[in-house]
Structure 1
Amino acid sequence: MRVGLLSQWFDPEPGPASLPGVLARGLAKRGHEVRVLTGFPNYPTGRLMSGYRMARRMEETLEDVRIRRVALYPSHDASPVHRVATYGSFAMSAIVSGVDALRDLDAVWVSNSPITVSLPMWFVRYVHKVPVVLHVLDLWPDSVRASGLVAPGRTLRALERGMSAWCRGMYRSAGRIAYISPGVGDLLQRRGVAKEKLVYIPMWADESALTPAANDMRAELSIGPDQTVLVYAGTLGETQGLTALVDACAAVVDDRRLVCLVAGSGVAEESLRQRARTSGATNIRFLGRLPKERMPALMATGDVHFVGLRPTSMAAYTMPSKVQATLASGRAMLVAGEGDVATVARQSGAAVTVLPDDPVAIAAGIRAMCDLGRDELRDMGRQGRAYYARTFSVEAGVERVEAALLHAKGMRVHL
């Protein structure tokens, strides 16, 4: 097939932004011609990555994948105005300078995050007559409400009504709609999406960057062999429940077995550092944002990895990408969350689950993990790796997306 990918985020951006690149390479390895329409890389710092210079558009070919990048306003700070400018500028640039790259294809896979990607998606669907597989990676307007970027009130309610109508238009235009966790599928049906349109395609990890046998950083960080390392790696924001993690670490500071490593950046970074200082959480070390090539070593350093979700209206449906990344790395997890993420954690055999945003519960979970010991935690990690291979692997994910694209291609005659 000749297939396209439409995503604002793409390699070399790290973390969840790297996952469309994994899909593109997987499809290319299966013999498909793959074209990508994306933006210039700036996630998660909001600064253009080294080696790139902003231009109206740029063509690249990476590992047999043809990529067109279009200009955008790079930002990833806490300003709603800047976020709108980032999302809107990509959407408009994609229409003006990018959508012709997705002409004459059999089908296009679209990441729905952010929903402004709908503008070039609709152009591809209705003008170029190319069928679309829409992958619902974020729920809208739920994500806006949970982010706290817009204060509760009349403005937020109006925004939610508009975004809900916008999403209904996206769902109508897609030939196939993929969802990443069971709860999301149920919610989409309640919002009027026909069951026959829906297909369960959970997300995968960037397996090339996650190797269970990678060298760790324990010696470099002067961590003893008898100490248990708890790692949080990712965005330092408000929705991850990290304030509760800091308070929990302060509550177990008397347990010399624990070392907590926090790696990443985000709008909450400075407040978390201050919270650790004032609470006496001397067992936490903030590492800042590490380069992508150091992530395997960091993953291997952690005996346990923390996954947290503050209780919000959408927390029950959210599946953080670090769940798959941790399982693929063969490491145990401490999951402070409810709903789908807690269900997967328990099914994997690789996790202890506790109540979210609850320092007392998280502290008890930390002590329980330390009591298990590093050997038992390694056994849990091996169970998680096997569960990942069965459930979330790149091979399985690419095969599911390929099937959805083939289904959409078959619908082309009705366009």
Structure 2
Amino acid sequence: MRIGLLTQWFDPEPGPAALPGMLARALVHRGHQVQVLTGFPNYPTGSLPPGYRMARRLDEVDGGTRIRRVALYPSHDRSAARRLVNYGSFALSALVSGTGALRDLDAIWVYNSPITVALPMWFTRYVHRVPVLLHVLDVWPDSAVATGFLGGGPVSRLAERGMAAWCGGMYRAAARVAYVSPGAGELLARRGVPREKLVHVPVWADERLPARAADLRGELGIRADQVVLVYAGALGEAQGLDSLIDACARFRDPRLVCLVAGSGTTEGRLRDRVATAGVTNVRFLGQVPRDRMPALMATGDAHYVSLRPGGMSAYTMPSKVQAILAAGRALLVAAEGDAAAVARDSGAGITARPGDPDSIAEGLRELCDLGREKLDLLGRAGRTHYDRFFSVATGAERVERALAGMVAAGRPVRASRRRRRAAG
């Protein structure tokens, strides 16, 4: 098939922005022609990497993948206004300078976040008549509300309603809507997406990172007999990390070391909480450079996944779950819904009630009682589960199947349209 990928994020951008590039390579490996429409790389720093200079458009070839990059306003700081300009500039630029690259394709895969990508998506769907597989990695407007992107008050509620209507238009335009977790699929169905349109395509991890790497235990002065729990990610309200700090305060076992890496709006409060309670088994590492993340992943005998109860937690699948499974590490999950289900189903995790320090403290005790060798076995079970359900090869196969179904369903319609044009 001739397949298009429409995504604001693409290589060489790291983290979640690397996922579309992995899909492109996997589809090329499966024998397809792949055309990507994306922006100039600038995530997460907001600056273009060496070798790139902003231009109206740039066409590249990477292996078997053709790439069209279009201009955008580079920004990834905490300013909501600049983020909106970043998102909107890509959408408009892709519409004007990029959609020609998606003409005459069999089908396109669309990364739905941010939802401004709808502009080039709608043009390609309705003008070029190319069927769309919309991959809902973030459910909007819920994700914007949870992160505080919309702020508060009546204006934000109006924006939320507008986003919901906008997303409804995206779902109607798509021939298929892919969801990343069962809870997200049920939510989309409740919001009016026909079940026959829905297809389950879980998200993969960045498999370019080494699964096993040298750890940081010696550098951090951690004894060989101590169990290390790592939390790496955003320190925000949605993560509910106050409960982890309170649990560590209650479980003052010298066998445990808890490492917290990252930054965010609650970092100051969490540090104050540790100092006030005299918690000695928690260490803050700040932002860890990307090239040291494999070492940090290897340092953790288990990794912590947390979502504050309520809101999006029941149907959110944090991308770190797949990353932890791919790295072959155990999980301690304090969340509702899909993330907890993966911890149980994979055999790689322990679950605790989110927002409950006593339950989380019991999970910490269980980690220490299992010890490092048994936690390693849990991690290996997690890697097996990842290979079976979450790998990029599995994801590409599911995407390929959905695209092929869309193309087959559209053939009679296109043939009828050609006959009408010929008769006219």
Give distance in 2, aligned partners of 1:270 and 1:102: 47
- The answer on whether the counterparts of 2:10 and 2:41 sit within 8 Å (CA) in structure 1 is yes
Which residue of 312, 320, 343 maps to 1:322?
320
Partner SS state of residue 156, structure 2: helix
1:343-401 per-residue CA deviation (whole Å, 9 max, x = no partner) reads: 11111111111122333332332222112111111111111112112211221111000
Distance 1:135-1:127 versus aligned 2 partners, 3 A rule: same
- Give 1:238's aligned residue: 237
**Residue of structure 2 in register with 1:108 after alignment:** 108
User: How many angstroms does 1:226 deviate by?
Assistant: 0.6
Give me the whole-angstrom Cα distance separating, in 2, the residues matched to 1:304 and 1:222.
18
Once the 2 structures are TM-superposed, how far is the Cα of residue 186 of structure 1 from its aligned partner?
A: 1.4
**Residues 117-152 of structure 1: CA distance to partner in whole angstroms, max 9, x if unpaired?**
111111111122211100111111111222223344
Task: Name 1:63's counterpart in structure 2.
Answer: 63
For this pair of structures, how many residues does the alignment match? 413
**Could you state the TM-score of these two structures normalised by the residue count of structure 1?**
0.93
The AA in structure 2 aligned to 1:79 is S
Change (3 A) 1:81 1:271: farther
> Which residue of structure 2 lines up, in the alignment, with residue 197 of structure 1?
197
Partner in structure 2 of residue 145 of structure 1:
145
Q: Would the alpha carbon gap of residues 210 and 281 (structure 1) be closer, same or farther in structure 2, given more than 3 Å must change? A: farther
CA distance, structure 2, for counterparts of residue 101 and residue 82 of structure 1 = 27
Aligned to 2:170: 170
CA distance in 2, matches of 1:77, 1:363: 35
Does 2:116 align with 1:120?
no
**Deviations 1:315-349 (Å, cap 9, x if unpaired)?**
11100111111111111001010011111111111
Distance 1:92 1:306 in 2: 39
How has the CA–CA distance of structure 1 residues 262 and 39 changed in structure 2, closer, same or farther, with 3 Å as cutoff?
farther
Superposed CA deviations along residues 62-104 of structure 1, whole A, max 9, x for unmatched, are: 3322222222223333332222222111111111222222222
Answer with 1 or 2: which has the greater Rg: 2
Which one of 316, 339, 342 corresponds to residue 340 of structure 2? 342
The answer to whether the 8 Å contact 2:205/2:319 transfers is yes
* 1:7 corresponds to: 7
Give 1:308 deviation, angstroms. 0.9
Structure 1, 45-54 or 236-245: larger mean CA deviation:
45-54
Cα-Cα RMSD = 2.1
Q: CA deviation at 1:268?
A: 4.3
Letter in 2 for 1:386: T
Contact 2:150–2:159, Cα closer than 8 Å, also in 1: no
Partner SS, residue 208 of structure 1: coil
Structure of higher RCO (CA pairs closer than 8 Å, 6+ residues apart)? 1
Evaluate the alpha carbon distance shift between residue 164 and residue 382 of structure 1 in structure 2; reply closer, same or farther with a 3 A threshold: same
- What SS does the corresponding residue of 1:313 show, helix, strand or coil? coil
Distance 1:19 1:279, change over 3 A: farther
Letter in 1 for 2:66: R
Q: Partner of 2:87 in structure 1?
A: 87
The answer to whether the 8 A contact 2:183-2:338 is kept is yes
Give the corresponding residue for 2:285: 287
Give, in whole Å, the separation in 1 of the partners of 2:40 and 2:270: 30
Closer, same or farther: CA 28–235 of 1 in aligned 2, 3 Å: farther
Q: Which moved more, 1:183-192 or 1:300-309?
A: 183-192
The residue number in structure 1 matching 2:228 is 229
Equivalent residue number for residue 399 of structure 1: 397
Worse-superposed segment, 392-401 or 73-82: 73-82
In structure 2, C-alpha distance between the alignment counterparts of 1:17 and 1:128, rounded to whole Å: 27
Superposed displacement of residue 210, structure 1: 4.0
User: 1:175-204: CA deviations, max 9, x gaps?
Assistant: 111111111111211111111111111111
Q: Does 1:182 align with 2:182?
A: yes
Deviations 1:266-291 (A, max 9, x none): 44445544544444344333334334
Letter in structure 2 aligned against 1:65: T
Question: In 2, Cα distance between the equivalents of 1:44 and 1:273?
Answer: 25
Matches within 5 A, 1:40-59: 40-59=40-59
Decide whether the 8 Å contact of 2:7 with 2:110 is kept in 1. Answer: yes
**Structure 2 residues not aligned, in runs of 5+:** 415-424
Q: 1:389 aligns with which of 379, 387, 394?
A: 387
1:299-314 equivalences under 5 Å are 299-314=297-312
Q: Is the 8 A contact 1:210 1:299 kept in 2?
A: no
